[in-house]
Amino acid sequence: MDPKELKKAAAQEALQLVESGMRLGVGTGSTADEFTKLLGAKVQAGFEVQAVTTSIKTEKLCIEVGVKTFTLDELPELDLTIDGADELDQDLQLIKGGGGALLREKIVAQASKEMVVIADASKVVDPLGAFPLPIEVVPFGLKATELEIAKISKELGLSGPVVIRKNEDGSDFVTDGGHFILDASFGRISDAKQLNEQLNLIPGVVETGLFIDIATKAVIAAPDGVKIMTK
Ligand code: 5RP
């Protein structure tokens, strides 16, 4: 089955969870884009929702499809966030940030009563870590931050290349918040909670792509149908 169709199927199912008048966090990435487009079509038909987006890219798409956007300062408490993920495990712990929006995604998800992940079944893994873990860092003192990350990961028994994310033209990838991203290929992350806590103690680390105990539900699309995962 076409991966795009699976993303659309998950997005369509998640749309049923959105109630009229909700304050909604809207995610970033190709799966979240499918959701945003479907939401736009529903809004065009008269459905009302107030959206807070997780990236400038998603904000542009919302405007394009007619979904009204607000800042998180205007709506600091949200009912629901719908977003994609790069990986999720059976406990609904996630790796996010493949699209570089992890910081805003985590802030928006944390501000929401519920976070629902939409993904195709290939994203469900055990354990997390085949997908390189995005770590958002400040540009100042990058080398020192890299050394700290290497030290902590070694202490936790993790190893693998940690590389700065680049754009296609070879320039450094810069997030919406003006930070860099390091992608850490650890392979297997046996204790994601501990790794997240330890990495977040490094002063140069802004946030990690590990979403621990944030997602409340996942809508997973496979060729044989859509399944719901809960905690
Ligand atoms: C962006 C993200 C995305 O949700 C994640 O990368 C999944 O994207 P896609 O739906 O395109 O596979 O975390 O920062």
**Chain segment 150-184, per-residue pLDDT in tens:** 999 999 999 999 999 999 999 999 999 999 999 99
* Contact call for residues 89 and 197 (beta carbons, < 8 A): no
Please give the Cα distance from 71 to 51 (Å, whole number).
8
Using the predicted structure, report yes or no on whether residue 231 has a pLDDT greater than 90.
Answer: no
For residue 35, the model assigns a pLDDT of 98
Mutation choice for ligand 1 from 30, 88, 115, 124, CB with most ligand atoms inside 8 A: 30
Q: Is the CB of 89 under 6 A from ligand 1?
A: no
151 CA distance to ligand 1 middle (Å): 28
| Structural domains of the chain, with CATH | 3-125+212-230 (3.40.50.1360), 133-206 (3.30.70.260)
- 33 CA to centre of ligand 1 in angstroms: 10
Annotation says 105 is catalytic: yes
Neighbours of 171 (CB within 10 A): 8
Q: Which of 34, 105, 136, 148 is catalytic?
A: 105
| pLDDT score for 56 | 98
- State the distance from the centre of ligand 1 to the C-alpha of 198, rounded, in angstroms: 24
Task: In whole angstroms, give the CA distance from residue 129 to residue 215.
Answer: 17
Q: With cut-offs at 50, 70 and 90, classify the pLDDT of residue 1.
A: confident
What would the pLDDT profile of 12-57 be if each residue is shown by its tens digit? 999 999 999 999 999 999 999 999 999 999 999 999 999 999 999 9
**DSSP symbol at 155:** H
Q: Is there an atom of ligand 1 within 6 Å of 153 CB?
A: no
User: Does a cis peptide bond (omega within 30 degrees of 0) precede residue 223?
Assistant: no
